[in-house]
Structure 1
Amino acid sequence: MEFSSEILAILFAVALVAGWVDAIAGGGGLLTIPALLLVGVPPATALATNKLQGSFGAMTAAVYFIRRKMVSVPANLPALAAIAAGSVLGGVVLQQVDADLLVLFIPVLLVSIGIYFLFFARNLDEERAPRISAGRYSGTVAPVLGFYDGFFGPGTGSFMATSLVLLRGMPIRMATAHAKLFNVTSNLAALGYFVLFGEIAWLAGGVMILGQVAGAYLGAHFAFTGGARIIRPITVIMCFAMSIRVLVRMWPA
C-alpha cells in the first residue's frame, strides 16, 4: 500500500498518543485500529499492523519498568510461559469458533473494572497481602489471560493489572509494570502468527512503531512517577471507552 507523507504523519501522531495511553492503562487499539481503517487499510491488515506496532509499544514500556526494578523477567517466567501458551491456544481456538460470542460478557467485565477503580479502589499505591500465591496465579489466572488475548483481546492490559491488584496485592504501579511484561508476551505470540500468515502494512507499521515507542516511554514514565493519581482515572476512562467500542462493534447503528 502507498501512503502520503501527511497520512504517515497522522499515523505517527495517533500511535504516539496510543502508546502513552497503553503504557498507563491499556486500550491504545481504540485509537490505532480506527486510524488505520480510516486511511484505507483493509480490516485484516489493520489488525495485523496494529499488533505489530502495539507490540513494540508494550515492549518499550516493559523495558522501562524492568530497568527501574519494578518487575523481574526471571521471577515471572512461569507466568510468562503460561501466558504465551494460553495466547497460542486462544489463536488456535479463534479459527474454530466465533469470537463475537464474548461480546456479551466483555463489556460487563470492563465496566466492572471501571466501577471498581472509580468507587471502591483505595490506597492503590500500597502493597496488600496477596489472596493467592504466585504459583497458583501462574497456573490458573495467567493462562486464562493469555488465552483471552489470543482469542479476543480488548481490555487485556486492564484485566491483567486488575487481577494483580486484587489477587496478588500489588500496588497499582507494580501491577501496571507486570501487566506490560505479560502483555508483551501475549502480543509477541500473536504477532508471530500475523508475520507468518497475515498481511502487514510494513511502511505504516514502521512509522507507527516510532510513535508507539516514544509514547510508551512517556506513558511508562507518567505511570512510574504519578502512581494511582495518574493510572486510576485513565484506567476508568479506558475501561468505559473499550466497553462502548465493543458494544458498537457488535451492534453498529
Structure 2
Amino acid sequence: MIESILNLGAAHADAIWPYALVGFFAQMVDGALGMAYGVISSTLLLALGVPPAAASAGVHAAETCTTGVSAISHILHRNVDWSLFRRLVIPGVIGGVLGAYVLSNIEGDAVKPFIQTYLLAIGLYLVWRSRHLPPKRSNPKIVGPLGLAGGFLDATGGGGWGPVVTSNLLIQGSSPRHTIGTVNTVEFFLTMSISIAFFLNIGWKAFTVATAGLLIGGVIAAPIGAMLARHIAPKVLMGSVGVILTLTSLFGIFKWLGYIA
C-alpha cells in the first residue's frame, strides 16, 4: 500500500495537491467534531471534477486508513472513554456488517430524506443547547441500539455513523471531547468491517491520484483534529457539532429535492 501511494505521488506530484487539501480539511473537521468526512470530501471531489463513482471509491478507500490514524491520535490525547467504546464497538460493527449484507435488497435513498430531516432537527437543538444550557455530564443509557442503528445506516446509506451516533450521545449528556474521540476510534473498526468486501472486489485499484491525495491530507490532519477535540471548550464543541450537522443535513435535503446536482 505504501509503495502504491509513493508511486502515485511521484508520478502525479502536481495533480495530487488539490486532493490532499480536500483530505486535510475533511479530516480536520471529522477529527475535531466526530463527523462529516464523507460528506465534505465527496462534495469537494465532485466540485473538482472527479466522477461520482470514483469519488465514492476514493473516499471509502482513504477512510479505512485515515480512521486508523485518527483513532491512534485520539487514544494518545486521552479522548477515548473505554467504557463507552466497549458498549459501542460490537453493536456498531454488527450494524455495519448487517447493513452491507442487506444493501442490495433495500432502497437506501428512500429513507434518506427522513434521516436528514431528523439530523437537521438534532443539529439545530445542539446549537441552541450549547448557547442556552450548560452541558450536563451524564452516562448515556442508550448506546448499543444507537451503535447498531448508526452502523447500519452508515453501510446502507454511505455515511451517517458520526452524525447519528455523536449527536445522540451528546444529547444524552456524554462529554463532547470523549464522545468525539470514542466515536472516531470505533469508526475505524466499523469502516474496516464494511470495507473488506470492497477491497476484495477492487483490490488496490481504488488507489487513484484522488485517493492518494485524500490519504496524505487526512493522515497529516488526523493528529491535529484529535488535539483540537482535547483543547476546545465543551460548549464550543457542542455548538460546532450542531452547526456542521445542520449544514450537512441541509445539503442532503436540498440534494434530494433536486436543488443541488
Deviation of 1:38 (Å): 4.1
2-structure distance, mates of 1:196, 1:174:
34
Tell me, yes or no, if structure 1 residue 108 matches structure 2 residue 117: yes
Check whether the contact 1:110–1:242 (CA below 8 A) recurs between aligned residues.
no
Candidates 181, 198, 205, aligned match of 2:185: 181
Asked if 1:158 is matched to 2:166, the reply is no
Q: How many residues align?
A: 246
Question: Matches of residues 6-155 of structure 1 in structure 2 within 5 Å?
Answer: 6-25=14-33, 26-71=35-80, 76-121=85-130, 122-124=133-135, 127-128=137-138, 130=139, 132=141, 137-138=143-144, 140-155=145-160
Counterpart-to-counterpart distance in 1, 2:70 and 2:140? 27
Offset of 1:104 from its aligned partner?
2.0
Residue number in structure 1 paired with 2:196: 192
Distance in 1, Cα, partners of 2:219 & 2:242: 24
CA-based RMSD of the aligned residues comes to 2.5
Matched with 2:3 is none
Give the secondary structure class of the aligned counterpart of 2:36.
coil
* Contact persistence 2:62–2:211 (CA under 8 A): yes
Matched AA of 1:163: N
- Write the letter of the residue equivalent to 1:247: I
Deviates more, 1:96-105 or 1:221-230: 221-230
Letter of the aligned partner of 1:240 in structure 2? T
Contact 2:120 2:249 in 1 (8 A): yes
Residue 5 of structure 2 corresponds to none
Change (3 A) 1:75 1:155: closer
Give the one of 189, 202, 206 matched to 2:212.
206
Q: Is the 8 A contact 1:57 1:215 kept in 2?
A: no
SS in 2 for 1:214: helix
1:22-46 alpha-carbon deviations (Å, 9 max, x no partner)? 1122112233113333445432232
The more displaced of 47-56 and 35-44 is 35-44
| Identity of matched residues, % | 20
In structure 2, relative to structure 1, the CA distance for the partners of 1:236 and 1:78 (3 Å cut) is closer
Does the Cα contact within 8 Å between 2:66 and 2:218 map onto a contact in 1?
yes
Give 3-state SS (helix, strand or coil) of 2:79's partner: coil
The 1:105–1:210 alpha-carbon spacing in structure 2 relative to 1, beyond 3 Å, is same
Moved more, 190-199 or 34-43: 34-43
User: For 1:187 and 1:60, how far apart are their aligned partners in 2?
Assistant: 13
Within 1, Cα distance between the matches of 2:22 and 2:14?
A: 12
The Cα of 1:63 is off from its aligned counterpart by 1.3
Query: Following TM superposition, by how much is the alpha carbon of 1:131 offset from its aligned partner in structure 2, in angstroms?
Result: 5.0
Q: Distance in 2 between matches of 1:69 and 1:18?
A: 22
| Residue aligning to 2:222 | 216
Shift of 1:252: 2.1
Residues in 2 aligned to 1:230 and 1:20: alpha-carbon distance in whole angstroms: 16
Q: Secondary structure at the match of 1:95?
A: helix
Q: CA deviation at 1:225?
A: 0.5
**Aligned partners of 1:242 and 1:193: how far apart in 2?**
28
How far apart are the structure 1 equivalents of 2:219 and 2:12? 22
Gaps of 5+ in 2: 1-7
Q: Matched residues in 2 for 1:14 and 1:108: separation?
A: 27
Could you tell me how far 1:83 is from its partner in structure 2?
A: 0.9
